[in-house]
Every structure is written in structure tokens, then in C-alpha cells.
Amino acid sequence: MEFLKDNSHRQNHEYEEFFKVMRTANIKSVFQPIISLTDGTVLGYEALSRGPQNSYMQNPEILLKVAEECGASWELEELFRSKALESICNSKLNVKIFLNINPAIFDSLKFKNLFTKEYLKKYNLKCENIIFEITERDVIKNMNSFKETIEYCKNQNYQIAIDDAGSGNSGLNRICYIKPHYIKLDMELIRGIDKCSTKQAIVKSMYEFSKLTDCNLIAEGIETEDELKALVDIGVQFGQGYFIQRPEECIIPIKDEVIDIIKKLNVKENDQYGYNIANVYISSISKKMESLESELLVSEIDSRFKKDQGLLGICVVDDGDVKGVVTRNSFYSKLGWQYGYSLYSSKAISNIMNTSFLSVDYKMPIDMVIKLAMARTNDTLYDFVTVTKDSKYYGIVTIKDLIEKTIEIEVDNARHSNPLTGLPGNVIIEQNLEKCISSKAEYCVLYFDIDNFKPYNDVYGFENGDKIIKFLAKAINSNISCDDFIGHIGGDDFIAIVCSWDSDKICQKIINDFDSLALECYEEKDLKNEYITAQNRHGIVEKFPLVSVSIAGVTNKKREFASIYALAKESSKLKKKCKQNGGSCYLII
């Protein structure tokens, strides 16, 4: 290596160890998954490099620093990349890889001449598999030249990510010039975001920016479930971090519990009160359309499209695995230029099929599919969605099907929901109670009733009365799991079905939240008196305590109920006892 000659006069231990690493190519690649924060599916893997284990050079930052001093940045980064691509090739997995790259190296002619389609063929990879992650290590010296390099890479079907947005040189100007496909949010922005309103505001503004510019956010360094929840609540599309999975030498599946947490958080997010009448799987509207094999000739596909003008696209499937999709628009955009047909007609469809497409599991809820479909770029926004079962081809769903089903669900949802809270009304409540008592699993049915509600309504008016009702709905929703059920019987009466006998803590938290929220609904004098004056049912002026909530809980711990009416009768007795205690309280039997 030439650079070794130039630096041979440096004899200290640090440089000697670095030269040894380079001579022996003693670099290890590890991979950290980047996953959807909507459903837990893997977007790709960031390739990270490590030096010799248990040595001073194990830290890649030290390697990069010494390489820069030695004038060997190019050689080291090329070693990082080749080792990563070699590992992916050996794994024989068709995945997207995020490769970190210094802006100065990325903009060099040497890099463009090396990183070609032919270079990737050695590793059985295509340009579509590679996302260049532009690091914040160096300032971009010639922005015009850099922009030309970016456009060149985009035209070759490489994708671009900005690393560590919000730190170093990865500022807003760089994002504007590069127009990346992905913006990676610096881990310092993510650390403790659940406790910091300023960080939340910054990430929310970045999310709005991402929607307007057709790019996606990737939150780096997610280490806790609370951080994950805050990001899901904001709408951040992708994430990575130790909570999801640590970097590993081998690519391993995401743990089921992580995926379950993400799915549950999204159900909570998509439904203000934890109720989702649209809990309908995408399989219900999926159609098993004809597929084709990847070796079929382009000319034969052309004949199929011309024969069937209503055919919008076809899945390319080999041995049940979906390899790609061919849409009518993308197909003819590639064949439509002067030499397009003659160039591709005798080639296999695998040469021009789209390998980046939206694929979902057949058990994914429709509302989650819509969210993923609408997050696509403008050029693929109306492409059909591919559906798989056990990772094998199951069918497709068109955007038209999705829209029609959504409208049907929304109409049905409105018909069976309480207009004030949006919670399910009596029809759905009865269905869930029937299901509950016929099950042998543990359950606790909680009935909620606001005490002294009528006097409050008479004094403060219906608008404030509605506010009190909404506050109770909020208190219940904040403390009931998304796996459980909440319903609005009517007026100030609510119900919740909890899949456990242990509901004491839930009741106490609901009481605490409601009592705190209810204080906002009184004037200062009434709060000071701790009562209001109003006419009772007989027209006599009387003092009434401030509103409170009574919770009657009925379980199947000691007895089974023959019908929902028997259950309601028992809860009615319990609620009367509860109300006699005064103030917010609960009783569970």
C-alpha cells in the first residue's frame, strides 16, 4: 500500500497497530436492523465496522481518526465497505444495506469509478440494495459537484440517507441540497425524548418536513420502550437502537416481543380511545391474482398487458417467494423510449421488475396497511400492495379496494359509536360482553358512573357537562390496555372489559386522573367550598359535592354468569353500594 510508504517514519505504537490492521484486513462487520415503527418489518441493516477485538483499534472512530492522519481514509473506508458487502453476500440474503460514507470520499472520482453495477455483481447485489449514508464527519467543500454526484447515484437507483441529522455538519442546508430518501435523526435527539417536550417539538417539525418532501425519518439510538412510544406517537416512520436489536455479526430476526410492542403502540395511536372497529385483516380484501416467474421474457409480459387493458400489475414469484412486481406504468416507462423495446424484449422480466415494493402480512390490519401505502413516494403511491402469508405470495390489494373498504368501515364505525366520545355504543358493547362471558379466560367488567353529574350539568351547562364526560373517557383510555375494551353506554355511563382479575391499580389510576381533570371544570369559589348549590329533583335548593366517579367491577373469579343481563344486574347492585361511600371509589367482586 502506497500510503504505508508515505507514513513509514511514524513508528509509534498507534500507527504500527493501524498499519497492521490494514495489512491483515482485520476488520469485522456487524449489522443493526432499521425497522418500521408501524409494523416492525425490516427496512434494511446498517453496516458497522469494528477493529480487532479487545484492542485499542476496535473502536471505528479511532481507526478513522488515525486513517485521516495517515492519509489513508479512502483505503480504510473501502475496507469497511468491502467487508460489509462480503458478509452480506455470504449470508445469501436479499436485504437493503446502509453504508456509511464520508462526503469527501463520496464525491471523489475514484469512488464513482469503483462503485459500479459490475462491482456490486461480485457480491450478488444490485444498486437497489444500497443506501449511502452520508456521515457528518466532513464539510462538503464543493456543493455543486456534490449535488451532481448525488444525482448520478440516484439515477443508478442507489438511495441516499443523511446521517446524524441535528448534529455536526448534518444541518438543514445539507438536507435541502441533497434531498435524501432518508433522514437519520441523531441519537442525542432521541435520548429521553419521552421526557423532553423540546425534543418532541423538534422531531415533530422534522416529521412534518419529511411528509412534505417525500422522505422518511429514521430515529437512531432507541433504548427504551418509552422513547419508542414517543416516536410512534409523533409518527416517525423507522427506527433503530439497542431496544430493537444490538448490532450483530449475523443477521437475525427481530424478537417477537419487540414487534408486538410496536403493533400495540400503533393500535393505541390509531384509535383515540383504544377501540378499533376496523380490526379487519388485509386478507379479507386480498385477491389471488395470476403471478409470473422471473425468467419470463419482457415480450411476453408486453403481450399480457396489451391483451388485458385492465391489468394494472403482476407479481413476480419464484417458488412462492415474491421477487418483485411489475406495474403497467413502470413497465412501459422503461420500454417507452426509442430503443427500450429492442433492448429489453428478449430479456427476462427480472431485469426490469421493481424489487422495492410494499409487501405486508395477510394478518396486518387494514388501517396499518393504509398508513404504509400512503407513506410511499409519489411515483409509487397508487401501486398495488403485495400480501404474503408465512412470507409466501398470498395475493394483492389495490388502492381502490383499500379506499372502498375504509369508507365502509368508517360508516359502520360511525353508526355504532357514541358521537360524543367516538367509543363503541351498545351494539358493540353487547357483542363484547357476550364474547367475554362465553370465554373461560379471566375477565373483569368495570362499570363507570359519574356521581353528582346532573347538578353539575344544571349549574355549568351542557357544554361543560360534555367536557366532564370526555375527561372520564380520557382517564379510562389512558389506563386501559389496548388489548382490552372500552365502551360508552350513554350519558355519563361507561364500561371496560379487562382481561385480568387484577384491576385494582387500574381503577385507582383512573380515579386519580379523573379527579385531577375534573377540578379544571369548576370555578374557584366552588373549588374552595368543595360543593355547588343546585335544585334537586324536587326543585329544592341543595348543596351537592363535586363530581366523582364510582367504579363497580365484576369478575368471573368466584362465579360464572349465564347471560349479560345477569352480569348487568350484579354490577347494578355493586354500583349502588359503591355510591354510598361518597367520593370517587371502586368495588370489585
pLDDT tens-digit readout, 463-478: 888 999 999 998 998 8
What is residue 7's predicted lDDT score, i.e. its pLDDT? 46
| Cα separation, 576 vs 587, whole angstroms | 10
- Which three three-digit cell numbers place residue 18? 493501524
What is residue 275's predicted lDDT score, i.e. its pLDDT? 42
Q: Tell me 319's DSSP state.
A: T
* Start-end of CATH 3.30.70.270 domains in the chain: 416-588
| Cα separation, 152 vs 127, whole angstroms | 12
Q: List CB contacts of 457: < 8 A, sequence separation 6 or more.
A: 464, 465
| Cα separation, 491 vs 424, whole angstroms | 13
**Separation in Å, CA 127 to CA 177, 344, 355, 369:** 22, 19, 11, 27
pLDDT tens-digit readout, 484-496: 888 898 888 898 8
Contact call for residues 94 and 63 (beta carbons, < 8 A): no
DSSP bridge pairs for 318:
321
* Start-end of CATH 3.20.20.450 domains in the chain: 26-48+76-270
| Cα separation, 305 vs 223, whole angstroms | 49
Contact call for residues 88 and 97 (beta carbons, < 8 A): yes
Whose cell is 456543493? That residue is 143
The CA-based angle 324-326-332, given to 5 degrees, is 145
Q: What are phi and psi of 130, to 5 degrees?
A: -110, 130
pLDDT tens-digit readout, 412-440: 666 677 878 888 888 888 888 888 887 77
Contact call for residues 418 and 425 (beta carbons, < 8 A): yes
Report the top-level CATH class of 26-48+76-270: alpha beta
Q: What are phi and psi of 451, to 5 degrees?
A: -85, 145
Indicate the SS3 state at residue 535.
strand
Percentage helix, strand, coil for the chain under 3-state DSSP, each rounded to 5? 45, 20, 30
Contact call for residues 470 and 546 (beta carbons, < 8 A): no
282-406 is a CATH 3.10.580.10 domain: yes
| Cα separation, 85 vs 97, whole angstroms | 8
0.85 cut: is pTM over it? no
CATH topology of domain 416-588: Alpha-Beta Plaits (3.30.70)
Counting as low any pLDDT under 50, the low residues of the chain are: 1-11, 169-170, 268-278
| Cα separation, 223 vs 273, whole angstroms | 27
Q: Taking the chain, what is the end-to-end CA distance rounded to the nearest angstrom?
A: 80
What is residue 558's predicted lDDT score, i.e. its pLDDT? 79
* Start-end of CATH 3.10.580.10 domains in the chain: 282-406
| Cα separation, 200 vs 282, whole angstroms | 32
**Separation in Å, CA 83 to CA 190, 370, 433:** 30, 38, 58
The CA-based angle 585-501-432, given to 5 degrees, is 95
| Cα separation, 250 vs 551, whole angstroms | 52
- Beta strand pairing call for 531-535 and 216-219: unpaired
- Beta strand pairing call for 28-36 and 541-545: unpaired
